[in-house]
Each structure stands twice: as structure tokens, then as C-alpha cells.
């Protein structure tokens, strides 16, 4: 699945009470041109999912090959239920819909208003009308494979025995990884861990 040529995005939204949030997603596509619509799929466990379900609006900031790993750790490895992701983040501006657009490591943005939701079990697909957008620069968009090869840090050699998260690199020490284990850093399950071969 990692060979699919999809991109990476910072998905942003704001609650009705005015709290901003964002997360990393890898599923955003244009579905029609007339009307101009896109779809995104968001894990139901993400706080941003709940905000979009409530408000029906979002922005996606399209990550470029100039993005560094700090963007992924900032928006991907912690939850907006526990931290304000924009409290100390300066590389963002508000678009016409009042939501943040990330400007660092990003080549374009799209603003959208939800017209339909499709329940996919663990995820919801939001189909939305494009309401605004813009190109910030001509840097190539970062694909998931580019992220894996050039942005995500390579695992360090270690004498520790255990299991390494393929998403963020967290190491679980122990011979057996519990089937219901959830990474404390990026919240991915045991299926996203690989055994460290000493």
C-alpha cells in the first residue's frame, strides 16, 4: 500500500467555539470538476474529524518536498484534544473561510465545504465543494513514498530488542508485542510495528 502515489496534507479545521486544530492525512482527491469537488478520508479517532463533522468546513495544506519532519511530528504525533497545535505555531495564515493554512513546507492550499459524508467504518469520507484555494510556490508535492525515503528519519541502529513503530520510530521493548498495543507517540496500532532484528 505504501507504493500508492498519494500525497500528504495538513488538514485544518476550527470548532464553532473558535478552537483551531489540524492533523496529517494522506487521502485527498478531486472527485469532480463541475462542480469542483474533493474528497478526504479522516480517521474517526482524530479530533479534526469531529470538528469537520460538526462544522462542515476544512482546509488542506498540500505538503511539498521541502517539508521537514517537524511538520509531521507537530500535526501527526499528538492529539488536539490534549494540546493546542496552533498555540506556538507561527507558519500559518488564515484563509477567507477563517481557517488556518500552513505556509511552511507547503506548495498550495484548498478550502472546502462538506456536502456529503460517507461512513467507512474506522474513517469518514467527506465530499466537499471547493470554495477557495491558491498556489504558494512551485515546489513538487510530497508523495507518501517521498516522505518515507527522504523526510522520515531512518531508524537508528540499536541493541535494544523489541518492536519499532513504522510510522514514527517509537520502540517498544520486549519480545512479544501485545495485539492491542497502541503507540503512545502516534497512536497507531500493533499492525504498524516491525520486529527489531538484533
- As a whole number of angstroms, the distance between CA 97 and CA 68 comes to 27
Is there a domain that residue 70 lies in? yes
Count of structural domains, the chain: 2
Same domain, 130 and 108: yes
Same domain, 28 and 71: yes
Same domain, 90 and 159: no
Is there a domain that residue 1 lies in? no
Same domain, 141 and 159: no
pLDDT in the model for residue 5: 62
Same domain, 160 and 190: yes
pLDDT tens digits along 73-128: 999 888 899 899 999 899 999 999 999 999 999 999 999 999 999 999 999 999 99
Is there a domain that residue 78 lies in? yes
Is there a domain that residue 25 lies in? yes
pLDDT tens digits along 9-46: 999 999 999 999 999 998 899 999 999 999 999 999 89
Distances (CA, A) of 173 to 69, 73, 105, 180, 187: 24, 22, 34, 15, 17
Same domain, 14 and 58: yes
Same domain, 71 and 144: yes
Is there a domain that residue 186 lies in? yes
Q: What range does the domain containing 105 cover?
A: 9-148
Is there a domain that residue 4 lies in? no
pLDDT in the model for residue 130: 97
Is there a domain that residue 118 lies in? yes
For residue 165, the domain's CATH number is 2.20.28.10
How many C-beta neighbours within 10 Å does residue 44 have?
Answer: 13
Query: Do the Cβ atoms of 45 and 129 come closer than 8 Å?
Result: no
Same domain, 75 and 92: yes
pLDDT tens digits along 113-146: 999 999 999 999 999 999 999 999 999 999 988 9
Same domain, 53 and 139: yes
Is there a domain that residue 3 lies in? no
Amino acid at each position: 500500500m505504501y507504493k500508492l502515489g498519494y500525497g500528504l496534507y495538513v488538514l485544518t479545521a476550527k470548532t464553532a467555539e473558535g478552537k483551531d486544530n489540524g492533523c496529517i492525512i494522506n487521502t485527498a482527491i478531486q472527485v469532480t470538476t463541475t462542480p469542483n469537488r474533493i474528497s478526504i478520508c479522516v480517521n474517526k479517532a482524530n479530533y479534526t474529524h469531529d470538528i469537520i463533522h460538526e462544522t462542515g468546513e476544512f482546509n488542506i495544506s498540500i505538503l511539498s518536498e521541502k517539508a521537514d519532519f517537524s511538520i509531521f511530528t507537530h500535526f501527526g504525533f499528538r492529539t488536539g484534544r490534549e494540546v493546542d497545535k496552533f498555540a506556538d505555531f507561527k507558519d500559518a495564515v488564515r484563509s477567507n473561510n477563517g481557517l488556518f493554512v500552513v505556509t511552511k513546507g507547503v506548495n498550495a492550499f484548498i478550502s472546502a465545504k462538506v456536502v456529503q459524508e460517507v461512513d467507512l467504518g474506522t474513517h469518514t469520507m467527506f465530499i466537499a465543494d471547493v470554495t477557495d484555494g491558491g498556489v504558494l510556490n512551485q515546489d513538487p508535492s510530497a508523495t507518501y513514498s517521498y516522505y518515507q525515503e527522504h523526510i522520515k528519519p531512518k531508524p537508528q541502529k540499536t541493541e535494544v530488542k523489541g518492536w519499532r513503530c513504522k510510522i514514527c520510530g517509537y520502540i517498544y521493548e520486549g519480545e512479544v508485542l501485545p495485539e492491542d498495543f497502541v503507540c503512545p507517540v502516534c497512536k497507531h496500532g500493533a499492525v504498524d510495528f516491525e520486529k527489531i532484528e538484533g
